[in-house]
A and B are shown apart, each in its own frame.
Chain A
Amino acid sequence: MKILVGIKRVVDYNVRIRVKSDGSGVDTDGVKMSINPFDEIALEEALRIREAGNAEEVIVVSMGGNECQQQLRTGLAMGADRAIQVNTEGDLQPLTIARVFLKIIEKEQPGLVLLGKQAIDGDNSQTAQMLAALWDRPQATFASKLTLSGDTATVVREVDAGLETIEVDLPAVASVDLRLNEPRFVKLPDIMKAKRKPLEVISADELGVTVENDLEISHYTPPPARGKGIMVEDTAQLVAELKTRGLV
């Protein structure tokens, strides 16, 4: 079985996000970029499945300009067998990404597609669901435990009410949650090995997908800055202050 893993290049989780002063987007000038943390968890899970003997090949896929090859190489250094970069320009939205994935699926015929539950930049949490619908295969979202047996996968999902266990037939799409695993560190010699692993570049055109966005983003604004606080002497003053502000 092949496992396909989606990798998105995002602004690193440690970076303080700044909205550009003209509101046209987020400032990425000189900013550290990384693999979306949930995608890293998806890749870790795929590698563990392969190491347990339940898959033969792990393929990492990313979409974007050549800069995303950096994240694909990191994926290869973690242990993926090969990488595919779908070369695109400009912003990509979940539906387009799902359409591209579908084409890669038709080509590679994976038994399992593992994606992060969401990317930490757009926070959409849509790609896995859209892909399952387009592909017409089961979906298991927000996985915090994943067990394979034969042609089925048992998935524990983190839902509002607690944990839900479902069983899906393979091939399927799973999106992974934070507690599924803790990704490994990359071994230094594996960085060298990763340089020799295959990285295929295909354009969206070649796959027959038109990159078009159905949603138009008008502008970005940072959240309002927090106002100055005041120190209160006692609860009576606290209640009084809250009352004058109409908060109680």
Chain B
Amino acid sequence: MSETTTEREVMEYDVIIVGAGPAGLACAIRLKQLKPDLMVAVIEKSPEVGAHILSGAVIEPEPLDELLPGWRDKPPPVCLPVVDDEIAFLTAKSRHKLPTPPQQRNHGNFIVSLGALCAWLAPQAEALGVDIFPGYAAAGIHYLPDGAVGGVIIGDMGVDRDGKPKDTYMQGIEIHAPLTVLAEGCRGHLSKELIERFKLDADSDPQAYGIGIKELWQVAPGKCKPGLVNHSIGWPLDTKTYGGSFIYHMDKDRVAVGFVCALDYSDPEFSPFEAFQQFKHHPSVKPLFEGGEILSGGARTIIEGGAQSLPKTEMPGALLIGDAAGLLNLPKIKGTHQAIRSGMLAASHVAEKGNGDGFDTVLRDSPIMKELHKVRNIRPGFNKGLWRGLITAGIETITAGKLPRTLHNHADYSSLTKLKDMKPIDRHWVKRDLAPRDRLASVYFSATDHDEDQVVHLQILEPDVCITRCGEEYGHPCTLFCPANVYEMVEDTDSTAGKRLQINAANCVHCKTCDIKDPYQIINWVTPEGGSGPNYQNL
């Protein structure tokens, strides 16, 4: 981004926030509430606010009460109080009800569409004077001569596949601000760059991630029980893999269904997408969807590392908030309340101090971090499998995290077993007939759109490794972990290996799984042209 020849146009703000999700919007709103004169801008790569947001989502409402008192009188379009909670353990054929762990008791919480919630927050931020720019991607960081962050560089538009300007070429501008707040969500590409550059993770564990795949269904009349929250663990995952399902019953016969799977799974031939589709065919689940219609779908990675993996959240000129930092509370399977709280905390800190200095300490002393500390050992407890994980979870829950020990996270990309060391696994998978048929059909329901004549935004740093080494060692797991079928090995008679990696970048739903799970860490996800990507509806 830095080697541009012509001078870029510049806009100046006091605070520039990257990402119009719950953290970024809450930060913007609170900043303007406290300091109405501050010039605050939010930039967002999705064509409109909410279109790249995908979450369960059951949320705790307290942070919203704090941010926008009276919001309950004008709630977001999808917002139902939870009336009942159920959690079950599944085997391939049976379902066993489990006692609901305290972290997952959802009384007083709300089922929402987080995308719709963000689309509802945005005009409230704008009413306070925040400038929100959807459809513009922050492609790079503007660094000051002393190395500090001085703002962001918006990606150029109208560039062809080979990087040459098209007739519609428009150079991206720079937005300069004394403070940049990264609220990109899980594995934001600028956050990743900054964490590396400023070594923000020097004192923390490797980050841990999961992938969540979700669909919204219109089920046959009479099947939906509005306000019901269903979770499951067990099948279709083996006991070595951490994850589970959610089914949230909404209004108008709509049901949100999803599956989350930790990205430290070991089987290179495992496909999280297939696991999700299998889950929908469990005998206790399938009847809900039979006779129904899928409305929309998509995928997004989830940040699971918690307290141990939290990087330093401040650097010269910039802060990390929400899931860009990694504040999700995994045992609760909730991050929205943490995201909103961290946005507000950053805002009040900045409003008081005039800059971000000292934010990391404030965050670590806050209730946000206390909440993460309490549950810190639950996720790594599952590194030794489901049963030991459940025991650890039980102990940590009873002791409220007070035992003087901290279990550690490992890097997800390092967890794949080589094909030669794999024993075949019978997952008891069934023949499927519910929609979508395959990943391409699923991409259709995400309404993903990229101009195909643009630079491929999935950079393969060492293409040779893909064909030879990865093929031999792992059998191209990228072709299986990607929920959108972006990576495909195709026949190529011109190459000595007889095959080549085809990147269907236009299918990308911006989930970032590839950037995380690729065992050689040679896939780099960067943002495509602003406004590209999924057009999620009520996800």
Contact = CB atoms under 8 A, between A and B. Distances in A.
B170 A184 contact: yes
A192 B131 contact: yes
B154 A188 contact: yes
A31 B537 contact: yes
A30 B131 contact: no
Given A30-B119, A188-B173, A14 B158 contact: no
Given A14-B447, A15-B535, A191 B133 contact: yes
A182 interface: yes
A123 interface: no
A29 B535 contact: no
Given A184-B168, A188-B11, A32 B47 contact: yes
Contacts of B131: 191-192
Contacts, number: 56
Given A15-B535, A32-B51, A185 B77 contact: no
Interface residues of B, number: 33
Main secondary structure of the interface of A (DSSP, over half): loop
Interface string A10-41: 00101110100100000001111000000000
Contacts of B48: 32
Interface in B262-308: 295-296
A192 B9 CA distance: 14
Nearest to A184: B168
B170 A187 contact: yes
B444 A16 contact: yes
B538 interface: yes
B136 A188 contact: yes
A189 interface: yes
A223 to B, nearest CB: 14
Interface in B166-187: 167-168, 170, 172-173
Nearest to B78: A30
B110 to A, nearest CB: 17
A32 B448 CA distance: 13
Interface in B45-103: 47-48, 51, 77-78
Given A30-B113, A187-B9, 4 more contacts: A16-B447, A18-B295, A32-B537, A184-B168
22 contacts: A12-B47, A12-B535, A14-B447, A15-B447, A16-B445, A29-B538, A30-B77, A30-B78, A30-B115, A30-B537, A31-B537, A32-B51, A183-B168, A184-B168, A185-B157, A185-B158, A186-B135, A188-B133, A188-B172, A189-B9, A189-B11, A192-B131
Interface of B: 9, 11, 47-48, 51, 77-78, 113, 115-116, 119, 131, 133, 135-136, 154, 157-158, 167-168, 170, 172-173, 218, 295-296, 444-445, 447, 449, 535, 537-538
Interface of A: 12, 14-16, 18, 21, 29-32, 182-189, 191-192
